[in-house]
């Protein structure tokens, strides 16, 4: 029998609730990753002895790579090491660093941290030596999850040492100073940005000198008056510029949560194949999975942070970032990601016309490409994934930069956990992206899309979102015509072919052709004349969206369902399309 020890550290959720700013939000994630990493350092055990997490020696020695939390709040290790002593040492070192930053009594902070931070340990768990690795994880994880429910009450809970530490600001008048000890450990060149900085990230590259000066002058103190003055200055600068325009999205930012789909069954399959049919080269599939998962976390972090994190590289070399839009990673642990991001990035020509627009969906597509690199296209995993599919689902919350951060985080979690990850039983794979929008004026909408390779709707939406529109009011002008024709959509969507050789979809598509030709025939909607007259690209892509939605989500026959159900289905289809249009209109609209 082999003996194992499982531990969990906390309390995570109560600590998250203390974060009021982006820097504190990042610091909470990094804090527990920092504690875990230093515990692994102090234990000084062979990496092969750990069941989870997977890591190598370099991960323990490099403090600055990759400026995000990579270590989970749990580990399982062979044997019965003295984890209590190690935990106490690491927490005391953290407490001393907090006391130095806060300039308060060291002993008081030590007592506070000793009381506040929790360590849950289950030691001496005995399992058979031939127990599959995935069975070890599934046998032990529920035990430690249960132990986490017994968090002790902190007798020093009225103290605010941790919140004060998390929310520390740079020293006034001291250029290059950092927020706190954690920022000094993680960031070599700059601090974690505020919501206003994240929202206006595109200006960092377009107007580097101006932007740096405005941030330094107005955003360092993180007060409302400074933020207002920052935006007044930015607006005035953009109104003088030929290559930029002041858009509404510059006052909004995105929080994105991502989680892998189907990994439980996938891990079980890998472990079974390791036992029944080992690889010829002796490599264990589970070991390869752990290594690829860590590499995915690293590569995704670098990608999110802008392609190379201050010249950072992953184990395979420098990551090339194909997009101008970038984000800021908060947590990257295995198949779990959490990051902030700009909503869009616009490029204009010399005449001030929009030529290209990237959005948060482009960044998600790039992360999916990295995911495919380490999983779907992996020569060992690819054939298995065809039988036991895995993917990534995303929850996006787009919020006004002044909105409470905790509410935005809750919204992104709802989008992921309550919508994206809850799909009909007949759906074999979630693979979804769900966007929840909450605007300054109370505007709100939800967009729920299934991604490729099976998602016709998602592909049509992606083409529509890349279609350039220079009149910022054009998309809004389409809505009255479309909304008054919802009944017509039902008629077209429920069309059934009675002619041999013509499918329902072909007949519906021809009716969509007719609808767009009849309702959008004015010059503002078309190009060319005579036989060469056709819809402008945006409307051609919008027509393709209608065709895809009513093809992938057809209205059920009245023979198979009540008319009310069919009508509701039609409304759901329209809500999907209107959600797309609202998002695209938002990223095109000027701020009044």
More confident residue, 33 or 174: 33
Token pair for 430: 């979630």
6-20, 124-138, 152-166, 191-205 — which one is most confidently predicted on average? 191-205
**pLDDT for 222 beyond 70:** yes
Q: Identical fold at 2-164 and 250-454? A: yes
The mean pLDDT value for 540-552 works out to 96
Confidence of residue 352 (pLDDT cuts 50, 70, 90): confident
The CATH number of the domain covering residues in 2-164: 3.30.70.2220
Q: Which band of pLDDT confidence, cut at 50, 70 and 90, is reported for residue 313?
A: very low
pLDDT of 138-166, one tens digit each? Answer: 666 666 666 555 665 565 556 789 999 99
Buried b / exposed e along 529-554 (16+ C-beta atoms within 10 A): eeeeeebbebbebbbbbbbbbbbbbb
DSSP per position, 77-131: EES---HHHHHHHHHHHHHHHHHHHHTS-HHHHHHHHHHH-EEEEEEEEEE-TT-
pLDDT > 60? residue 505: yes
Annotate 405-436 with three-state secondary structure. Answer: HHHHHHHHHHHHHHHHCCCCCCCCCCCEEEEE
pLDDT score recorded for residue 99: 97
Under the banding of pLDDT at 50, 70 and 90, the label for residue 318 is very low
pLDDT of the residue at 592: 63
Can you give the pLDDT at residue 287? Answer: 87
Model confidence at 529: pLDDT above 70 = yes
Residue for token pair 């616009």 = 346
CA nearest to 344, candidates 202, 184, 139: 202
Whether the CA torsion 558, 561, 562, 565 is positive or negative: it is negative
Would the pLDDT of 132 be above 70?
Answer: no
Strands 344-348 and 354-359: antiparallel
Q: What is the per-residue pLDDT for 391?
A: 94
User: Mean pLDDT throughout 170-175?
Assistant: 60
Judge whether residue 467 has pLDDT over 80: yes
**Threshold 0.85, pTM exceeds:** yes
pLDDT value, residue 271: 85
Asked whether the beta carbons of 169 and 182 are under 8 A apart, the reply is no
Q: Domains of the chain: which residue ranges?
A: 2-164, 170-249, 250-454, 469-592
pLDDT digits (tens, 9 = 90+) for 22-34: 989 999 988 999 9
Percent of the chain with pLDDT over 90: 51
- Which residues in 247-316 belong to E strands, given as ranges? 252-261
Half-sphere exposure of 61 (CA within 13 A, CB side): 3
Flag whether pLDDT at 471 surpasses 50.
Answer: yes
The predicted model gives 546-555 an average pLDDT of 92
Percent of the chain with pLDDT over 70: 85
Q: Quick check: 316 pLDDT over 50?
A: no
Taking residues 264-283, report their average pLDDT: 89
In degrees rounded to 5, what are phi and psi of residue 294?
A: -65, -40
Does position 425 have pLDDT exceeding 70, yes or no? Answer: no
Looking at the predicted structure, is the pLDDT value of residue 189 above 90?
A: no
- Of 183, 243, 185, 188, which is closest to residue 210 (Cα–Cα)? 243
Alpha carbon separation from 378 to 287, 288, 336 (Å, rounded): 14, 10, 19
Superfamily of domain 250-454: Reverse transcriptase/Diguanylate cyclase domain (3.30.70.270)
Sole residue written with tokens 């990753």: 33
**Choice among 57-71, 536-550, 575-589 with the minimum mean pLDDT:** 57-71
pLDDT attached to residue 75: 87
In degrees, rounded to 5, the angle at the alpha carbon of residue 279 between the alpha carbons of residues 278 and 282 is 90
Residue with tokens 């505007």: 443
pLDDT in tens, 237-270: 988 876 678 899 999 999 999 999 999 889 889 9
What confidence score (pLDDT) does residue 464 get?
97
Range of 253-257, 326-330, 471-475 with top mean pLDDT: 253-257
Q: Share the mean pLDDT of the chain.
A: 86
**148 close to 8: Cβ distance less than 8 angstroms:** yes
Q: What is the mean pLDDT of residues 444-473?
A: 89
- In Å, what is the CA distance from 226 to each residue of 218, 240, 250, 579, 583? 5, 22, 16, 33, 29
Of the listed ranges 7-11, 224-228, 418-422, 424-428, the one predicted with least confidence: 424-428
Q: What pLDDT is attached to residue 74?
A: 86
Q: What is the pLDDT of residues 369-397, one digit of tens each?
A: 999 999 999 999 999 999 999 999 999 99
How confident is the model over 93-113, as pLDDT tens digits?
A: 999 999 999 999 999 999 999
């Amino acid at each position: 029998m082999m003996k194992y020890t499982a531990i969990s550290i906390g309390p995570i959720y109560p600590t998250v609730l203390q974060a009021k700013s982006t820097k504190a939000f990042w610091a909470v994630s990094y804090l527990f990753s920092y504690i875990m990493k230093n515990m692994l350092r102090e234990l000084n055990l062979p990496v092969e002895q750990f069941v989870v997490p997977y890591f190598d020696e370099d991960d323990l020695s490099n403090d600055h790579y990759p400026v995000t939390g990579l270590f989970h709040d749990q580990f399982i290790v062979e044997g019965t090491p003295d984890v209590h002593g190690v935990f106490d040492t690491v927490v005391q070192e953290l407490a001393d660093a907090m006391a130095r930053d806060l300039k308060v009594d060291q002993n008081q902070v030590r007592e506070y941290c000793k009381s506040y931070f929790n360590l849950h340990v289950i030691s001496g768990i005995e399992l058979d030596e031939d127990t599959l690795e995935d069975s070890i994880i599934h046998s032990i994880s529920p035990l430690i999850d249960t132990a986490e429910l017994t968090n002790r009450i902190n007798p020093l809970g009225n103290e605010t040492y941790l919140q004060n530490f998390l929310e520390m600001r740079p020293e006034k008048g001291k250029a290059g100073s950092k927020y706190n000890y954690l920022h000094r450990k993680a960031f070599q060149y700059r601090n974690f940005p505020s919501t206003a900085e994240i929202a206006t990230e595109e200006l960092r590259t377009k107007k580097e000198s101006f932007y740096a000066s405005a941030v330094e002058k107005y955003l360092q103190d993180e007060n409302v008056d400074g933020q207002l003055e920052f935006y007044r200055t930015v607006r005035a600068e953009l109104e003088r510029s030929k290559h930029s325009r002041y858009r509404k999205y510059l006052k909004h930012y995105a929080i994105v949560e991502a989680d892998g789909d189907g990994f439980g069954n996938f891990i079980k399959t890998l472990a079974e194949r390791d036992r029944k049919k080992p690889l010829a080269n002796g490599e264990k599939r589970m070991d390869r999975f752990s290594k690829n998962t860590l590499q995915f976390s690293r590569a995704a972090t670098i990608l999110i942070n802008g392609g190379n994190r201050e010249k950072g590289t992953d184990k395979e070399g420098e990551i090339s970032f194909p997009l101008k839009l970038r984000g800021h990673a908060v947590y990257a642990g295995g198949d779990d990601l959490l990051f902030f991001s700009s909503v869009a990035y616009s490029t204009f020509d010399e005449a001030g016309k929009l030529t290209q627009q990237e959005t948060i969906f482009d960044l998600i597509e790039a992360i999916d490409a990295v995911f495919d690199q380490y999983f779907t296209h992996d020569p060992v995993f690819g054939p298995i994934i065809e039988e036991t599919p895995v993917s990534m689902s995303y929850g996006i919350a787009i919020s006004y930069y002044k909105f409470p951060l905790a509410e935005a985080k809750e919204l992104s979690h709802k989008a992921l956990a309550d919508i994206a990850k809850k799909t009909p039983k007949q759906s074999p794979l979630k693979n979804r992206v769900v966007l929840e929008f909450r605007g300054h004026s109370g505007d709100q909408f939800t967009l729920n899309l299934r991604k490729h390779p099976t998602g016709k709707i998602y592909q049509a939406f992606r083409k529509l979102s890349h279609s350039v529109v220079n009149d910022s009011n054009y998309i809004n002008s389409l809505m009255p015509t479309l909304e008054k024709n919802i009944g017509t959509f039902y008629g077209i969507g429920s069309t059934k072919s009675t002619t041999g050789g013509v499918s329902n979809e072909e007949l519906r598509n021809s009716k969509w052709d007719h609808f767009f030709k009849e309702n959008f025939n004015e010059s503002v909607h078309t190009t060319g004349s005579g036989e060469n007259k056709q819809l402008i690209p945006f409307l051609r892509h919008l027509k393709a969206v209608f065709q895809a939605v009513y093809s992938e989500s057809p209205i059920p026959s009245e023979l198979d369902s009540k008319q009310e159900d069919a009508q509701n289905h039609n409304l759901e289809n329209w809500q999907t399309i209107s959600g797309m249009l609202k998002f695209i209109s938002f990223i095109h609209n000027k701020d009044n």
